[in-house]
Amino acid sequence: AQSVAQPEDQVNVAEGNPLTVKCTYSVSGNPYLFWYVQYPNRGLQFLLKYITGDNLVKGSYGFEAEFNKSQTSFHLKKPSALVSDSALYFCAVRVTGTASKLTFGTGTRLQVTL
Amino acid sequence: EAEVAQSPRYKITEKSQAVAFWCDPISGHATLYWYRQILGQGPELLVQFQDESVVDDSQLPKDRFSAERLKGVDSTLKIQPAELGDSAMYLCASSLGALGTDTQYFGPGTRLTVL
């Protein structure tokens, strides 16, 4: 069975500082990894995904994520946080094949303060 | 930019009543998903359609939930009768296909409150 762990319920960072939101995964086979962001009472917005190739993936709004196969991690990063980045972030994993479900972590709340 | 549409955005109902949610996927997307998101948790898949066919409904409580996508475009999710534990956000998503690499795009969701 596949699973995703987001070890931090909340991450606090000052505006202008770099941010990292952690994600580790467990799958049988090659993973496809996704990051989504959710604002209050809204659906999930796609940020970026890793399929294959370069381990550093760049996405929307200045976010990037690094795939690390040996550590089974896919941490989300941004060099300089904005107050408007404050939201709930979800990591998700899927494997190859149409029968595979997209499995989400429990989410990490990012709070960016002035 | 094309988006997934859902309605209503909010629904308050009493237990034992019937409720229905509607979803219109991004044009050209063959695969449609319904998820349930309980507060403080990640979304969980209820049902997946490929065109008009159900390909996965293993997590759908079939005694009270039903879903259809009759013409392979828009979809309806119904709950009858609603129970207190059904209070959650119901999210619809769509993707071009059902491959693991296909990105799922989500609608704004329907927040259901059962009293």
pLDDT of residue B77: 98
pLDDT of residue B70: 87
Label residue B103 left, alpha or beta by phi (over 0 means left) and psi (-120 to 50 means alpha).
Answer: beta
As a whole number of angstroms, the distance between CA B57 and CA B89 comes to 18
Question: Closest residue of B to A89, CA-based?
Answer: B42
A97 band by pLDDT with thresholds 50, 70 and 90: low
In a mutagenesis test of the A interface, which of B4, B9, B41, B112 is the best target, namely the one with the most A β-carbons within 10 Å? B41
- A42 shares contact with chain B (CB less than 8 Å): yes
B99 band by pLDDT with thresholds 50, 70 and 90: confident
Q: How far apart are the first and last CA of chain A?
A: 41
Q: What is the mean pLDDT of chain A?
A: 94
Q: Which residues pair with A76 in a beta bridge?
A: A21, A65
As a whole number of angstroms, the distance between CA B21 and CA B67 comes to 9
B63 band by pLDDT with thresholds 50, 70 and 90: very high
Q: In the block, which residue shows the tokens 């709930």?
A: A88
Q: Which residues pair with B105 in a beta bridge?
A: B94
Is pLDDT above 90 for B89? yes
For residue A108, count CB atoms less than 10 angstroms from its CB and return exposed for 0-12, middle for 13-18, buried for 19 or more: buried
pLDDT tens digits, residue range A4-27? 999 999 999 999 999 999 999 998
pLDDT tens digits, residue range A71-81? 999 999 999 99
Nearest Cβ partner of A94 from B100, B105, B111?
B100
> Which residues of chain A lie closer than 8 angstroms to B40, CB-CB?
106-107
pLDDT of residue B16: 96
Mean pLDDT, residues B82-108 = 93
pLDDT of residue A28: 86
Nearest Cβ partner of A43 from B55, B98, B106?
B106
